[in-house]
Amino acid sequence: MQIFGSEPQIMGQAAKVISEIADIVDINMGCPAPKVVKNGDGSRLLLDLELAREIMAQVVQNSTKPVTLKMRKGWDSEHIVAVELAKIAEDCGISALIVHGRTRDEFYSGVADWGIIKQVKEGVQIPVIGNGDIKCVEDAKQMLEQTGCDGLMIGRGALGNPWIFRQINDYLQKGEEPKEISEREKFQVIKEHFELLLEEKGEYTATREIRKHIAWYIKGMKNATVMREAVNRVESKEEFEKILKEYFECQENIV
């Protein structure tokens, strides 16, 4: 479970509570959203390393589980602090680091700097997880080779492609090239995804949230535009399930 905030005492209290139910407590020092940084939280802490230190010390002290830190490269090109912050984190007892190779200023644009991940890896003893722009198995291999990192974190590359984790494992462990995902498996996974959304968020929100996921899942498939437009009008569970079934039936008669 991840927490963000900039008041060391409160972050410590939060860690105490959530570490009872979480396996790992992760501190967010990467979020670039204006509503988060304007309160001094998320990536804003990259401009105040002493406060970042106090927060990490409090969280580590109060957590009954390992604490990790998610960070960006720095605030902007004038404030590249990843290596310094990583050393402070190690000093505070943080168990592992996740480094996104972009500054706050960059948000999600441009190309992630994997060089900074390599520098962090070389600067600390604790495990370093590389993050940013891993979209396929080859990217995963390159990230490991170029940075020497210990693990990978994948964000946008998993949207519409939750198979990426299996594909990367198969590629790295068995040298298997990723296979095309069958229509049947896609259908089953989308169905399960929707059922989980329903369970978690109820029909109103699920039928709306599934819209963006459908767009990612069916990108490049036949009649994707028509399907996207149809799903965007869906308001009930039954309607969605019907449209999904019909769409996949006319792809390959697999349902």
Chain residues binding ligand FMN by CB under 6 A are 2, 28, 30-31, 70, 100, 131-134, 154-157
Is 31 a residue of the active site? yes
DSSP, res 98: E
Q: How far is the CB of 252 from ligand FMN (least distance, A)?
A: 30
Q: How far is the CB of 243 from ligand FMN (least distance, A)?
A: 25
Q: Which is nearer to ligand FMN, 6 or 28 (CB)?
A: 28
CA–CA gap between residue 40 and residue 17 (Å, rounded) = 22
CA–CA gap between residue 110 and residue 224 (Å, rounded) = 27
* CA-based nearest residue to 153, from 97, 198, 207, 194: 97
The pair phi, psi for residue 101, each rounded to 5°, is: -80, 45
Q: Which is nearer to ligand FMN, 90 or 133 (CB)?
A: 133
Q: How far is the CB of 170 from ligand FMN (least distance, A)?
A: 19
Q: How far is the CB of 52 from ligand FMN (least distance, A)?
A: 15
| 69 beta partners | 27, 97
Q: Which is nearer to ligand FMN, 203 or 209 (CB)?
A: 209
Q: Which is nearer to ligand FMN, 62 or 131 (CB)?
A: 131
Structure tokens at 80: 């590249």
The label of the residue with tokens 């699920």 reads 206
Q: How far is the CB of 83 from ligand FMN (least distance, A)?
A: 18
CA–CA gap between residue 139 and residue 121 (Å, rounded) = 18
Q: Which is nearer to ligand FMN, 162 or 188 (CB)?
A: 162
| 28 beta partners | 70
Q: Of residues 31, 136, 149, 250, which has the active-site annotation?
A: 31
Question: Residue 59, Cα to own-chain centre: how many angstroms?
Answer: 21
First-last CA distance in the chain: 37
DSSP, res 47: G
Residue 28 contacts residue 70 (beta carbons within 8 Å): yes
Q: Would you please indicate which residues are annotated as catalytic (active-site) residues?
A: 31
